[in-house]
Structure 1
């Protein structure tokens, strides 16, 4: 399936608030988890039903309700009904191909972004759609599968770090988005190491495998940009929104996110230019090498033209060739050929033709 454009047949003509899962199923069963915390208490538990999560709505603490797996329609309906979300919100959550966006509703703030991860062994980049909904005291995160980049945030909560413990669900939203964007920069740095290593190979031995590597890295970089650029647009809108669900004192943190995503875009632009330069260097190096080969072959041919002429004269079938009777003729001919070859090479060298 195409990585840049994805359109499923069941999307065509469907209502925007229909609960239709659009994407690739990445988990067998939906897993529900709760982290509830304030400055005095911390509760981190798996739960078996949406109903258990609803009990946390009225608590004064901050609750992080995480949903791994978004393809089970009955669970998604229970979340929509239990938290009284507009059907359009959950329909958007179930569409994994949607662009990153931010939208405020009467009882919540909805954001979505692409979460990228890199396999430490294969270095392959994978992505999933991450949706985040915040209410006054609850943040609900929707992931396509179990396994994410949020462990540093969980560690901060477990260690009762003062800022995250005291700052509410909007700060938790910032913390999660911050990890996602930091991961963009990390993945770009991993890809950047590969791109920069190509430069040394280009200078030492510009083989065809390098052009294949350049094209591969260009595809990966374009794929990253396809996800990073819409994320920047979403964050710009998030910093402009005047929402009751984001405390005014936390807006400075979302401005910081905007700076980070701009940094990621600048890095991707730089590596894009480097790849284009490397492509030009490769073609220039190959052309120069080909010119050197052609120059050598030309010199080689030119040197042997007079030698062939001399050999041709003494290979003609005439009865009267005076030199044939002279006992030193053969050595004179060879000597003449050597002198001419050396003289021509010396002349070419002085002219800097090779």
Structure 2
């Protein structure tokens, strides 16, 4: 699984400005996309050798969203970070992607780290990637190590003019992107919940030893989801109730609503953890029940054959004087006694409701 224990610390002897990407997403060329927007329209362009657009100044309505996809090219990260005077330690946190979701208020800008989750239906696995935000007065910069479908959905909304994004500040764009990431959490939880439900039905009908591995995988994914969501609650709470001048009062209301969504995700994750935690007991109980049923059948067969074995053992003794041995009806009599005794035992078990 590609989203778990990542290398977080830089190698010994590495300089602070080395900016070594520590993720496991396949290395790709860093792509910088700039979207300039306002009430009158929006324009998106991929920045190659062109200069990154300057941040709008003054009280005008223009805003800019700079999206950096791929964190392997240190020079591009520095180039974009230099636009805002981002501290080298912040740039280091951006490329070392094993970070815990967090928020830092550095007066001139807000620095936010969250996790994006994507469910792979073919592999039935969750994949995690890190997303970092730098929020300025009129600009938002996002750094992501992998593709995030939620970002494209927000970019489409900006281009089409739907919603409030064009008429609101850069802080509202931060809310829109975080809200889309939280929605992806819901989608991931829904898929994991379906996998858990399917596995639960399978454990009751046809449990197999390989199901223990599946249980462990689902439990591990759910635990990592919880580790991602709990600090996310702190991040959104700070955005909703913090004192940063970069967050407008009218936007804080949206962050409070987002906080309720995060709490709902936390409750869902805790519920899934409880279900997955009990699956081992379900597996063991089902296996034990099936084993008991098999042993019950085998014990019944053995008990019904015991009288037959007893009669066959008596008449198998090598005594010279056994009257039944020379009697023409001796064999039918022995068979009848065997059937009668076994039938009596079977009737007794039925009356006792043991079978």
TM, length-normalised to structure 1: 0.92
The equivalent of 2:176 in structure 1 is 175
Secondary structure, counterpart of 1:46 in structure 2 = strand
The equivalent of 2:10 in structure 1 is 10
Q: Deviations over 1:272-316 (max 9, x none)?
A: 222233332222222122112222222222222222111111111
Q: Deviations over 1:22-41 (max 9, x none)?
A: 32353431111111111112
Question: Which sections of structure 2, spanning at least 5 residues, go unmatched?
Answer: none
Q: Deviations over 1:207-241 (max 9, x none)?
A: 33444433332222223223222222322233332
In 2, Cα distance between equivalents of 1:212 and 1:21? 31
Q: Any conservation in 1 of the 2:71–2:77 contact (CA below 8 Å)?
A: yes
Of residues 335-344 and 67-76 in structure 1, the stretch that sits farther from structure 2 once superposed is 67-76
Q: Any conservation in 2 of the 1:26–1:69 contact (CA below 8 Å)?
A: no
Q: Any conservation in 2 of the 1:65–1:141 contact (CA below 8 Å)?
A: yes
Secondary structure, counterpart of 2:123 in structure 1 = coil
Of residues 168-177 and 311-320 in structure 1, the stretch that sits farther from structure 2 once superposed is 311-320
Change in 2 beyond 3 A, CA 1:110/1:348: same
Shift of 1:97: 0.9
Change in 2 beyond 3 A, CA 1:5/1:122: closer
The equivalent of 1:194 in structure 2 is 195
Q: Any conservation in 2 of the 1:36–1:64 contact (CA below 8 Å)?
A: yes
Residues 1:128 and 2:92 aligned together? no
The equivalent of 1:272 in structure 2 is 273
Residues 1:289 and 2:268 aligned together? no
In 1, Cα distance between equivalents of 2:244 and 2:111? 11
Secondary structure, counterpart of 2:190 in structure 1 = helix
The equivalent of 2:231 in structure 1 is 230
In 1, Cα distance between equivalents of 2:50 and 2:178? 24
The equivalent of 1:24 in structure 2 is 24
User: What does residue range 72-221 of structure 1 map to in structure 2 within 5 Å?
Assistant: 72-221=73-222
Change in 2 beyond 3 A, CA 1:13/1:263: farther
Shift of 1:14: 6.2
Question: Which sections of structure 1, spanning at least 5 residues, go unmatched?
Answer: none
Change in 2 beyond 3 A, CA 1:78/1:150: closer
Residues 1:62 and 2:60 aligned together? no
Secondary structure, counterpart of 1:21 in structure 2 = coil
Q: Deviations over 1:293-347 (max 9, x none)?
A: 2222222222222221111111111111111111101110100000000001111
Between Structure 1 and Structure 2, how many residues are aligned? 353
Shift of 1:263: 0.9
Q: Any conservation in 2 of the 1:56–1:63 contact (CA below 8 Å)?
A: yes
The equivalent of 1:318 in structure 2 is 319
Q: Any conservation in 2 of the 1:32–1:49 contact (CA below 8 Å)?
A: no
In 2, Cα distance between equivalents of 1:161 and 1:3? 34
What RMSD in Å do the two structures reach over aligned CA positions? 2.3
The equivalent of 2:331 in structure 1 is 330
Secondary structure, counterpart of 1:150 in structure 2 = helix
